[in-house]
Each structure stands twice: as C-alpha cells, then as structure tokens.
Copies of this chain bind each other. A is one copy, B any other.
C-alpha cells in the first residue's frame, strides 16, 4: 500500500512550493496523470490541497494572517496613498521603526529597496526586508500574535527601551482630540515604548479613523510630530490636529482617471522587492 506514501510525498512537494503543476507531479512521482488526478481529488476532499486548472495549490500551512486578508479595496486606496506620502518623508540612511498595522505595512512596502535601518515588531514587515541586502533589519522579539503577526510582550518593550531611532511610523485604530487609540491592550504598551524610542513620530491613519476611539488609549496628540492622512479629512479635524502642534501631511487620493499620487514613479510595488 504505497498510495498513502505517494500522497504524503505529493502533499509535501506541493507544500514546499505552494503550487505544483500536474505535469511536475507526474515527473516527480513517476506515476500516470490519472493517478495524480485521483490523488489530488482525494487530497482536496481532505482539505489539504486545492485543485486548479493545471495544478494544485497548497491550502495548509502558508501563513495567511487574517488581518491582512480583509482589506477592502476602498480603504486600501487610501492606505496606499497615505503610505506613499509617509514613505516620501523618510530619507535614506535613517533608522525607521515600523509597527504592525496594515497601513504601516504599506509604508514598509514603499520602503523596500531603500538604504535604511529598519526596526520592527511585525513579522510581515520583517519578511519584506529580510532578504534585502541594502536594508539592515532589527526585529523585536517576543510573543507573536497569531492574528496580526506582531511581537508583543515585555521582551519587546524592554528591548525598545534600549533603542533609539530617528523615525517611528505608527498606525492607529482611532484618533480623537485626546490622542491615539488602539485595539490591542498589549500592543498599546509596545507602541508607547516605540514613541519613547523615537526622535520623530509619524502617525499614518486614513480619515475614517478620526473621531473613533478604540480599546486602549495609546498617547496624546502632543507626542506626534507628523500625521499622514488622506484628503477626505474634514477641515475641523485638520484644525484640531494642527492646533495640537502636529504637522499634517495630506495624501491625495488618486481619483479615477487621475495619474500618480505626487511625484516621480507612479506607484512602487512588489517589483521593487524582487528587483
């Protein structure tokens, strides 16, 4: 009964690559196409793999962090624009501290390939820079939250206490006149440590975050140096923010049939990472 063994080999093969063409599997396992198809059907029934035209897709252990799957395109455009604006204000050679929000992740993507020192507690962000020779990467350790992939806990905070960075880029779940709010209790503490470690604090948040509170208070507006938001932010909020001594950077939303957000290249994306 080597059927089971072959299927184990098969799923293993698929897991390593994330995807395998039917043809590859025939060659690899030395059985007929029909047999592979039957194996695939069986494995799909078990939920271990997902068939596609011409191949199989692994549907098991690849880390798909739930927080990053939501991303409705609407919010996403704003996040992208904000991230581009924030990335602009960061110069080469800086030491940048990035937290683990989705908007911050977009900022991180814009920074891939730049000459920077990056400090982060976010596993997804770290992955972006891990193989980049031009970026030094320092990862804060600690307990990794399964949903968001960020490192939390006393170890992260303690290490942060001993670091100093030129710029901290922070996200927020809510912003009011009182200050920033976040949805995660432990994360709030880590973010406070991040604020203390920074020479300059940039907060990235789309306009929907304003006027909303969230679970825990993180910090007052006075600790923020710059706030990047999309252009849908009402004037009233702009006044509140600037009155608190925060420099407000507005990222223009790319409306339909309009060109690139601001400057040189249209929209930096994954190409930069793989170049």
Contact = CB atoms under 8 A, between A and B. Distances in A.
Interface of A: 1-2, 4-5, 7-9, 11-12, 15-16, 18-19, 21, 46-49, 52-55, 57-66, 68-69, 71, 73, 76, 80, 109, 112-113, 123, 126-133, 136-144, 146, 149, 151, 155-156, 159, 254, 256-257, 259-260, 266-267, 269-271, 273-275
24 contacts: A2-B257, A2-B259, A4-B267, A5-B260, A8-B266, A12-B76, A12-B267, A15-B109, A15-B269, A16-B69, A18-B57, A46-B274, A48-B269, A48-B271, A60-B274, A61-B270, A62-B127, A63-B132, A65-B130, A123-B123, A123-B126, A130-B144, A131-B149, A137-B144
Contacts of A112: 60-61
Closest 5 CB pairs of A and B: A141-B141, A53-B54, A60-B270, A63-B131, A137-B144
Contacts of A47: 271, 274-275
B132 A139 contact: no
Nearest to A153: B138
Contact of A113 (B61, B128, B133): B61
Nearest to A160: B141
Contact of A8 (B2, B15, B49, B269): B269
A271 B11 contact: yes
A255 to B, nearest CB: 11
